[in-house]
Amino acid sequence: MRRMIATLTGAAAAALIVPALVAAAPASARTAPADPVSALKSQFTAHRGVKLDEQGKLIGEGKNDRVILSRRAGVLEFGRKGVVASDLTSTFRLPSADRELAEEFKNLFAPTRVITVKGFSYTSGAFYGDALPEGKKWVRTRAGLVSPGSPAQQMVNPLEPATLKAVLARTISKRPGGTWDGTRTVVHSGMITLGELYKVSPTVRALLGAKPSAKSAILPVNWQLYIGSDQLVRRAVSSWTQSMRGLTSLDLTYLNDSRYSGWGAKSAIKAPPASQVADIDELDFEAGGEDPFARLLTTEN
């Protein structure tokens, strides 16, 4: 169980919900930088941020086809070099789960909130159940880049300048993308390999945990970035497929659609009250356990 908890409480990678956001002048009202990377860096100001609304889908194709849907929403707060804090709420569900399976995993499907600030992540949700000490509501862990328990995070993180630059350099096509967050956008589409992303993206390195094998490094990650007239990203879509045959007899396809809005909003994310916080070592877990997402994908329908 401790291994599973470490996976699910790993620290928030881009984290969210709606703390105290104060409306700021829309980024589109200011002079647009010359390119998306410069536009992104211009947003790196203390106590400013961007709202995120992300939907993910993990599709297991094999003996027992199943889909897990995820959603997280909130705000990311910037510092001088990028995202430094976040407040995230995430939920998971099955499109058509039977009652017995839904009941077995009810705590996994309950909303989970993660606040990440000053090097620590604080997680609150039904998953911990009775493991928390009396009077405690939050579990504290060292902060990282991976969102707890999310099976289909955004592989193309447009809030990392190096990642944004590398991805846009592989643009294959451009077309009008409609209006997002009050601004007209242009869709940049292309493909980048998993190995190339691993080299430039801290988020991908945290998600994978280790350098991809030669076979995995060439896996294509298809992407679309919707970029506004102010050169800021309003939407990022990515998808890739990984074969798990030989381990779980599955091909896993990861789909992610992330929406960014309210660029430049004021943000002041704070840690929960210390009296409500417990460290991971204080939790009372039984030994054993396994990854619940693997269980969901391999359980008989």
Q: Which residue has the higher pLDDT, 126 or 29?
A: 126
Q: What are phi and psi of 116, to 5 degrees?
A: -120, 120
Q: Which domain holds residue 151?
A: 2-298
pLDDT score of 182 more than 70:
yes
Residue 99: predicted pLDDT: 62
Q: What is the mean pLDDT of residues 255-266?
A: 96
| CA distances from residue 66 to 4, 154, 156, 299 in whole angstroms, order as listed | 21, 20, 24, 9
Q: Which residue has the higher pLDDT, 39 or 98?
A: 39
Residue 25: predicted pLDDT: 47
Q: Give the model's confidence band at 20: pLDDT under 50 very low, under 70 low, under 90 confident, else very high.
A: very low
As a whole number of Å, the CA-based R_g of the chain is 19
Around Cβ 103, how many Cβ atoms within 10 Å? 9
Residue 27: predicted pLDDT: 47
Q: By percentage, how much of the chain surpasses pLDDT 70?
A: 73
Q: Give the model's confidence band at 11: pLDDT under 50 very low, under 70 low, under 90 confident, else very high.
A: very low
How many domains is the chain partitioned into structurally? Answer: 1
Q: Give the model's confidence band at 4: pLDDT under 50 very low, under 70 low, under 90 confident, else very high.
A: very low
> How wide is the angle at C-alpha 149 spanned by C-alphas 148 and 155, nearest 5°?
85
Q: What is the mean pLDDT of residues 28-41?
A: 79
pTM of the full predicted structure?
A: 0.81
pLDDT tens digits, one per residue of 60-88? 876 566 788 889 999 999 999 999 999 98
DSSP states of 198-255: HHH-HHHHHHHSSPPPHHHHT-EEEEEEEEETTS-EEEEEEEEEEE-TTTTSEEEEEE
pLDDT score of 261 more than 60:
yes
Q: What is the mean pLDDT of residues 40-51?
A: 97
Q: How far apart are CA 214 and CA 46, in angstroms?
A: 40
pLDDT tens digits, one per residue of 203-237? 999 888 889 999 899 999 999 999 999 999 999 99
Q: How far apart are CA 133 and CA 84, in angstroms?
A: 29
